[in-house]
Amino acid sequence: MSAPNPASCPTIGIDLGTTNSLVAVFENGQPRTLANEFGEELTPSVVAVAEDGQLLVGRAAKDRLIVAPGSGQACFKRDMGTSAEYRFGGKSWSPIVCSAIVLGEMKRIAELHFGAVPQRAVITVPAYFHDQQRQATIEAAQIAGLGVERIINEPTAAALAYGYSNPEREMRILVFDLGGGTFDVTLLEIFEGVVEVQASTGESRLGGEDYTDALCLWLENRHQWQPQPAARGAWRQRVEVAKRQLSASESASLYLNDGLVQVTREDFREATAAIHARLRPVVARCLRDAGLQAVALDDILLVGGASRMLVVRDFIQDELKRISSLKIDPDRVVALGAAVQAGLCASDSAVADIVLTDVCPHTLGIEMSKELAYGQSEPGYFAPIIDRNTTVPVSRSKLFHTLHPQQDHIEVRVFQGEARLTRDNQKIGEISITGGLRHQPGLHRPGEVDIRFSYDMNGILEVEVTALATGKKQSHVIEQRPGCLSQREIQAAIARLQPLKLHPRDLLPNRARLERAGRVYAELVGPAREHLNAVTDQFEAALESRDSLAIKQAAAVLDSFLRGFFEHEGEAPAEPPASP
Ligand code: AMP
């Protein structure tokens, strides 16, 4: 007689959402979401401490927060990868620890179903999560006692769930993912079981919660009223309910200052117009990066609870001239996709024909110095190595050289982002190399270093720096502790805030011009970006020279480039700044 099989739990798929989290598994050829003992599949991503000191998670924590707003924390996903600290229950809590508590709850729900503790998980993150936020998510899983099988982008997971259930269809879809606190747009092609992400872009601090905040503010202004601080949680909750009602009906009513007030969808549209102005460029950028026009799309997949809002659907219809006809529950589709990915990781035969390719959603590069006039150099410029929307995994390298023949040490500062100056991008780590760089007789290629970036399927970056003269290599997985600033960085930030002496660069029209150039730079890739970079360099060099004629000429060239871009985008350029 053989021994009974010990109970086991498959790898679980977790959608760790800003507002709600879900857990799913891939079983018998199908993904399915799991419910807790109350039959609920959505667990609010909220942590709180009860009056008696007990730790609460999920619905209980959410309810407690409504009556005692200072007793816990919601929306901590927005702070992942930062040094944010919350104080409640007499203790301080980090976003990582709060996320770990929610992941622990997901683990517990899976255990309820399988009678065994899950060991590994596929966890979804917004496509726009940067390296530190992904690392923070991995650490949260480790704290919860879960090994991470794969980190997968939320819109990609949604597409995978869709592609899995419709393998025979060949189509180009736009995934419009508006969650509680993040917004991602992803373009993909699905054909014969291949799910190919072509471009992905987003805004990491924009989502359904901003709609609730905007409606709160609009109502407070309209009625010249503000809740007492202790009643703010309950007030916000009433507005949240009204917001949801407006997804199904033309108007909603709610109690404000003991009286019943009405809010219509038109009011809601007015209250949230500024948010839509922030969604628009993200959609345009994604289409542009994929080299597609809206007419080429076959359909739109809506993901995230906030995509239920009718004002959002109207926005999509206005922007893309079509409505979404894909019917998958926007709350569950990401978790289902995570479960399909878990099946792929476990080589489940049911998914043997599915192939998934994803992209790196940010540009990754290093900081470099530019040689200016008079033999001077200026640090702080971004040198891209991997362009955004390159298919992953990917490994790319570029050659750099030291600034001075006697230099024998370099610090490679790694950044991600779309801005031309590194101070406007996200620093994700640093690596230094000493020796073998200085000019010496007999040394071949002194001063040259090869910098290689390798970006894996989880969105984790490895950097390798090789001094070409000696072949000496330094490898480094970027692992900067979230939110930790060195003394030098703090000093640099303070120095930046010091009032600057009035240099032509700081005159308002020139600042505005450089800001606009920076904004357009972020929108472009490849040769157009390089061209703009060169034109901006010339303008900066002219500013540096303080020669007013040179400044005027360089400004005209830069303005003409910017005008060309805005005309092409069909966007009215801002009033051209007056020349200095
Ligand atoms: P997620 O991060 O996907 O859980 O996003 C949840 C967000 O969707 C929250 O901001 C909710 O307020 C919002 N949401 C959920 N259901 C609705 C609905 N029916 N109408 C409007 N917003 C909703």
The predicted pLDDT at position 22 comes to 98
Distance (Å) from CA 118 to ligand 1 centroid = 28
Mean pLDDT over each residue of the chain, to the nearest integer: 85
The predicted pLDDT at position 52 comes to 79
Distance (Å) from CA 180 to ligand 1 centroid = 6
Q: How far apart are CA 549 and CA 544, in angstroms?
A: 13
Q: Higher-confidence residue: 37 or 455? A: 455
Percent of the chain beyond pLDDT 70?
Answer: 89
SS (H, E, C) 265-301: HHHHHHHCHHHHHHHHHHHHHHHHHHCCCHHHCCEEE
- Please pick, among 41, 131, 149, 177, the residue that the annotation labels catalytic: 177
pLDDT band at 573, cuts 50/70/90?
Answer: very low
The mean pLDDT value for 69-81 works out to 92
Atom of ligand 1 nearest to the CA of 306: 8
pLDDT band at 320, cuts 50/70/90?
Answer: very high
| Residue 24 one-letter amino acid | A
Atom of ligand 1 nearest to the CA of 20: 4
Instruction: Please report the DSSP string for 414-462 in residue order.
Output: EEESS-SBGGGSEEEEEEEEESS-S--TT-SSTTEEEEEEEE-TTS-EE
The mean pLDDT value for 201-216 works out to 92
Is 154 one of the catalytic residues? yes
The two three-digit tokens of residue 345, written as one number = 């990781």
pLDDT band at 575, cuts 50/70/90?
Answer: very low
Residue nearest atom 19 of ligand 1, based on CA coordinates: 244
Percent of the chain beyond pLDDT 90?
Answer: 49
Domain boundaries, the chain: 364-477, 508-568
pLDDT band at 7, cuts 50/70/90?
Answer: low
User: Which residues are near ligand 1 (CB < 6 Å)?
Assistant: 17-20, 179-180, 207-209, 240, 243-244, 247, 304-306, 308-309
Q: How far apart are CA 125 and CA 402, in angstroms?
A: 38
Between vectors from CA 440 to CA 436 and to CA 442, what angle results, nearest 5°?
100
The predicted pLDDT at position 498 comes to 40
The predicted pLDDT at position 436 comes to 78
pLDDT band at 481, cuts 50/70/90?
Answer: very low
User: To test the ligand 1 pocket, which listed residue (42, 99, 309, 328) has its Cβ within 8 A of the most ligand atoms?
Assistant: 309
Is 571 one of the catalytic residues? no
Atom of ligand 1 nearest to the CA of 330: 3
Query: What's the half-sphere exposure (Cβ side, CA atoms, 13 Å) at 373?
Result: 11
Atom of ligand 1 nearest to the CA of 246: 20
Distance (Å) from CA 178 to ligand 1 centroid = 8
CA 100 to chain centre: 20
The mean pLDDT value for 82-110 works out to 91
Atom of ligand 1 nearest to the CA of 17: 2
| Residue 198 one-letter amino acid | Q
Residue nearest atom 1 of ligand 1, based on CA coordinates: 179
Distance (Å) from CA 20 to ligand 1 centroid = 9
The predicted pLDDT at position 503 comes to 54
Tokens 């200026």 sit on residue: 378
SS (H, E, C) 383-397: EEEECCCEEECEEEE
- Please pick, among 105, 139, 149, 154, the residue that the annotation labels catalytic: 154
Q: How far apart are the first and last CA of the chain?
A: 91
Residue nearest atom 15 of ligand 1, based on CA coordinates: 305
Distance (Å) from CA 137 to ligand 1 centroid = 22
Distance (Å) from CA 91 to ligand 1 centroid = 30
Is 424 one of the catalytic residues? no
Is 15 one of the catalytic residues? yes
pLDDT at 3 over 80: no
Q: How far apart are CA 254 and CA 241, in angstroms?
A: 8
- Please pick, among 41, 62, 77, 387, the residue that the annotation labels catalytic: 77
Distance (Å) from CA 179 to ligand 1 centroid = 7
What residues contact residue 84 under an 8 Å CB cut-off, 6+ apart? 76, 94, 95, 483
pLDDT at 484 over 60: no
Whether domain 364-477 has CATH 2.70.240.10: the reply is no
pLDDT band at 577, cuts 50/70/90?
Answer: very low
Q: What is the pLDDT of residues 370-389, one digit of tens each?
A: 877 666 888 999 999 999 99
3-class DSSP assignment, residue 398:
strand
pLDDT band at 515, cuts 50/70/90?
Answer: confident
- 178, 307 contact by CB (below 8 A): yes
- 170, 516 contact by CB (below 8 A): no
